[in-house]
Structure 1
Amino acid sequence: MKEFKKILFPLDLSATSPRLVPYVLTMKEKFDAELHLLFVARDFADLKSIYVPHPSIHKFEDEVVAGGKKKLEEFREDYFETVKDVTLAVLPGDPSQKILEYIRSEGIDCVVIGTHGRRGLEKVFFGSVAERVIGRAEVPVLVVNPYHAA
């Protein structure tokens, strides 16, 4: 059986993120793996094209990253307080791109990711981070629909 030494749990810190925790913990415990929690703060580069001043965008992005770090630390305390070998990371940028870069740069062996189950126009407009990660990741990806998770 394949051994997973490093497991990545990319999360959006939404209300559905806690529903994925049991799956993440099961994988971590089964393989006695390091756990990486990653939050990607979307960048706002596209706002530059509508004449929003660059310093305002950068300041806002910095605040989003700082807020993401605080929320990720709180999430760890709430759901992984007694878990050892947990690494936290917050990166600005496109979520699927940054997740894929993190997988490569950190030598991740497996990803546990949630999907919002978007359909129709919502999927056309917002796309699916999970779908892009599944399609491009070079490691196994466990996808959990939080609305159907026990």
Structure 2
Amino acid sequence: MFKKILVPTDGSEQANKALELACEIAIKNDSQINILSVFRHHSFIEGSLSMLPRQINDKAYNLEDALGEYSKEIVGEAKEIAFNYGIKKENVKGFVRIGQIAKEILEFVEDKDIDIIIIGKQGKGDLSGYLLGGVSHKVAGLADIPVLVV
């Protein structure tokens, strides 16, 4: 039925609930779970105004580096949840992308031939999601495949 499942995550409680449901479906169908974390690209000005230090452990660092590392941690934690749920390691894949979140999710669906998206209804986003429509709302409205909002 659903052989390739996408679970976008920001590490929030709702994203983890979506992941748990994806695990239940994956176990029943021997499906692959693709865990995706997308972080927003920041402008040069936003990045330069960041409070992050320029050097951390002798490595040049900027806002995008920090967000990328954080996204990798989120994906790693989500993979551990899937493994603990009983999903085989070969059936769990993790990805990090940068860009507009809904757009990157939808492009990922096309790139990886995903069958279903299982997404949390509300993540760690700011209040603009309430006013402009959150990521889950945008994805559900624009996707050409089934979207299950948890």
TM-score class, shorter: 0.7 to 0.9
> How many aligned residue pairs are there?
135
Aligned to 2:57: none
- In 2: Cα distance, 1:34 partner to 1:52 partner: 39
| Aligned-partner residue type, residue 75 of structure 1 | A
Deviation at 1:138, TM superposition (A): 1.0
| Aligned-partner residue type, residue 142 of structure 2 | R
Choose the corresponding residue for 2:130, options 103, 120, 123: 123
SS for the counterpart of 1:108 is coil
1:5 and 2:3 are equivalent in the alignment: yes
- In 2: Cα distance, 1:88 partner to 1:63 partner: 18
Query: Given the two structures, how large is their TM-score scaled by the length of structure 2?
Result: 0.77
In structure 2, relative to structure 1, the CA distance for the partners of 1:5 and 1:60 (3 Å cut) is: same
Runs (4+) of structure 1 exceeding 6 A deviation are: none
- In 1: Cα distance, 2:130 partner to 2:11 partner: 20
In structure 2, relative to structure 1, the CA distance for the partners of 1:63 and 1:141 (3 Å cut) is: same
Identity among equivalent positions (%) equals 30
| Aligned-partner residue type, residue 87 of structure 2 | V
- In 1: Cα distance, 2:81 partner to 2:101 partner: 23
Tell me, which stretches of 5 or more residues in structure 1 are unaligned? 145-150
Deviation at 1:17, TM superposition (A): 2.6
SS for the counterpart of 1:80 is helix
Tell me, which stretches of 5 or more residues in structure 2 are unaligned? 55-60
| Aligned-partner residue type, residue 112 of structure 1 | I
Deviation at 1:51, TM superposition (A): 8.9
In structure 2, relative to structure 1, the CA distance for the partners of 1:110 and 1:121 (3 Å cut) is: closer
After superposition, the C-alpha distances for 1:46-80 in whole angstroms (9 at most, x for unaligned) are x63x6947xx7x82112211121023212322443
- In 2: Cα distance, 1:51 partner to 1:44 partner: 6
Deviation at 1:31, TM superposition (A): 2.1
- In 2: Cα distance, 1:121 partner to 1:6 partner: 31
1:69 and 2:72 are equivalent in the alignment: yes
Shifted more, 59-68 versus 87-96: the winner is 59-68
Deviation at 1:18, TM superposition (A): 2.4
RMSD after superposition: 2.6
After superposition, the C-alpha distances for 1:69-104 in whole angstroms (9 at most, x for unaligned) are 023212322443441210000111111011001000
